A and B are shown apart, each in its own frame.
Chain A
Amino acid sequence: MSDTTAQLSGDTLSNAERKTLMDVGFDDLSQRAGTSILVDRSIKLTHSVDPGVEILPLNEALKTYEFVQDLMFGLVSADANDHIRMIAADMDDPLGHFVWVKPGAKVRLPVQTFTLMETPQARQFTHDVTLIDEGAEVEMVSGAAAPSDVHRGQHISLSETYMRKGAKCRSVSMAHWGDGMEVYGYSYSHMEGGAQEESLSIALSAIRRDENNSVSTLMENATSVAQAICFAPSGTHRIMKSEIVLAGSGARSEDITRMVSAGGTITSDALLIGDAPGTQGFLGCDGLKLNKTGEIMAIPSLCARAEGSQLSHEASVGMIDSDKLNYLMASGMTEDAARDLIVQGFLSLDDAVVPDAVKARVAEMIVQAKSGGM
């Protein structure tokens, strides 16, 4: 068990850091089973109060546990592309979080991990490894952010997640980078038999370029329910590429992406592969444009390779339905209030899993986007 509790005085995080992190889901350490915070090029804090959770800087975990070397680059080749090669250049001294939820652990409080970029024009390369061991159950909150005075920089991240047999994980991840930043994320996950995942990712703030690539492999009877919510104010470009492979019989997945453009561009390119009998999968891509500029492109693709694999998709992209606006305005709402309600409904932010601070932040961003403040 990692124990850096001695570092956890109020001085460990500045007020400014706390504020930045709270926008992406940070809560007081007493409310979390474990916490890991990476700032610029070092891990600033790791802390765990639950014996079922081990949190370490990845470079330390590499030295502490022999098996960690087999998890690193276990789901993707270190040579997969230029970005991953840059991360792999520090393979023997990686920068990132290592989270291990031990076999059978039923973790009561969420585990939280955050990455902060505080230096303008920095380039940050991170590699996170998460192992949720056999039969373990955990809720995770992760966030990535830059403070409001950092506009430019580049962040490239690799995340590898292993869910062993029967593991269960519910997760929320949020990003709030600077508006001139470039972010490239690569996420790989492998779910063993019977593993269950329920995830929500939220990306709302303005950003010059945000590219996310993910590959998930689900083995026998594994299930995944994933939701992604993203917002693109003017000047923002988001590209999300995902591949879900239903590799074991009976594996099931539901992948929902909701996109809102207020002048920015969003591309969602999702591929669902049914590679084993008895698999079921669904892709849902819905896009809502708030004004005439910007672009939303939804590309759901299905590939059934095995007999009895049932895959489906739904996609819709368009402006706000004027019938809905009129209906709400006929009850006395202004057009702006009606739009806000429709957009927030579209994003389903009533979901209990979304922290209140994030819901408030979304409402604020919609208002700012309309007024041209973003």
Chain B
Amino acid sequence: MTIATPLLEVRDLCVAVGDKPVLKGISLKVAPGELHVLLGPNGSGKSSLLAAIMGLPPWRVTSGTMFLDGTPIDELSLFERAQLGIGMAFQRPPSLEGVSLNSFAKSIDAHSDLDQAAERLNLTAFLQRDLNVGFSGGEIKRWEVLKLILQDPHLALFDEPESGVDLEHVKAIGTAIQQFMARPDASGRQRAGLVITHTGLILAHVEASHAHILQNGELVHSGPPTELFQHVQSHGYSVPLAS
């Protein structure tokens, strides 16, 4: 694919956790308006790629580089990357006892948006609840999407947004993600995103533009999302023969 000005560019990225390499020479470009799907078996490096882009420890870039809207982000801290416009919906976020949705929203100066956004995700009754404390799987995932709506990132990373969620909630989460991705950020810029899915259920509700298969820390194939997911369902995470 050819992209003139990608929002995210990952060039030959190698990442390790401790001494163990988890990503080996990943290259990827994501343009504004695009939503890329990451497919792959457990341990293939999907979550590691999102964590490395976000800047989460203990993932450590050993070589290669990453750019957000042309700006190198390798040397930026986690907080600085978030401030620059990267946001992430966590797969398994921690519980924060005593920190309510309300107080979180105030802390990131997004309190004025909270009521409306919470209503869209059916989380109005949770505003006084502590973050992720006693939440069901579906409630955690809805909160993670609500968190991104409040944060308003330019690049959104979704780590398995539908895992552990019943079908009804997958639709609600997928619809919310689609609406969020389709809406420009506060500066009027088109968003872009990366989403990890195991089940592929989310693909029925979001308009993904590209899909990639990862194996053993390498990006081994890219293609149209629906076609590639059908291949995975029939043949596992193998490289399609036509490629």
Contacts and interface: CB of A to CB of B under 8 A. Distances in A.
Interface stretch (A11-19, A38-46, A53-61, A345-353): A345-353
A337 B107 contact: yes
B212 to A, nearest CB: 23
A322 interface: yes
A328 B94 CA distance: 10
B151 interface: yes
Contacts of A350: 98, 100, 103
A327 B54 CA distance: 11
A329 B98 contact: no
A190 B242 CA distance: 83
B138 to A, nearest CB: 19
Prevailing SS type, chain B contact patch:
mixed
Interface in B113-155: 130, 147, 150-151
B96 A332 contact: no
B88 interface: yes
Interface in B86-109: 87-88, 90, 93-94, 96-100, 103-104, 107-108
Nearest to B89: A330
A238 to B, nearest CB: 21
Contacts of A329: 77-79, 82
A330 B82 contact: yes
Given A330-B54, A331-B87, A333-B107, A348 B79 contact: no
Interface in B49-93: 54-57, 77-79, 82-83, 87-88, 90, 93
Contacts of B104: 328, 331, 341
Contacts of A348: 98
Report, as a range, how many residues of chain B touch the other chain.
20 to 34
Given A330-B82, A342-B99, A324 B56 contact: no
A368 interface: no
Interface string A311-335: 0000000000111101111111111
A341 B103 CA distance: 8
B73 to A, nearest CB: 13
Contacts of B94: 321, 323-324, 327
Contacts of B151: 331-332
A19 B107 CA distance: 28
Contact of A346 (B82, B93, B97): B97
Nearest to B81: A330
A330 B52 CA distance: 12
Interface residues of A, number: 24
A346 B57 CA distance: 23
A344 interface: yes
B87 to A, nearest CB: 7
Given A322-B57, A330-B88, A344 B98 contact: yes
Nearest to A323: B94
A324 B104 CA distance: 12
A330 B56 contact: yes
A289 B66 CA distance: 36
Contacts of B79: 329, 332-335
B78 A324 contact: no
A337 to B, nearest CB: 6
A335 B80 CA distance: 11
Contacts of B96: 324, 327-328, 341-342, 345
A100 B112 CA distance: 47
B26 to A, nearest CB: 20
Interface in A293-315: none
Contacts of B82: 329-333
Contacts of B55: 330
Interface centre among A331, A332, A334, A344 (most CB of B within 10 A): A332
Interface in A76-101: none
A349 B130 CA distance: 12
Given A326-B57, A345-B130, A332 B98 contact: no
B192 to A, nearest CB: 17
8 contacts: A322-B57, A327-B90, A328-B96, A330-B56, A332-B82, A332-B87, A333-B107, A341-B96
Interface of B: 54-57, 77-79, 82-83, 87-88, 90, 93-94, 96-100, 103-104, 107-108, 130, 147, 150-151
Given A333-B79, A341-B103, A350-B103, 10 more contacts: A324-B94, A330-B87, A331-B151, A333-B82, A333-B108, A335-B79, A342-B96, A344-B98, A345-B98, A347-B98
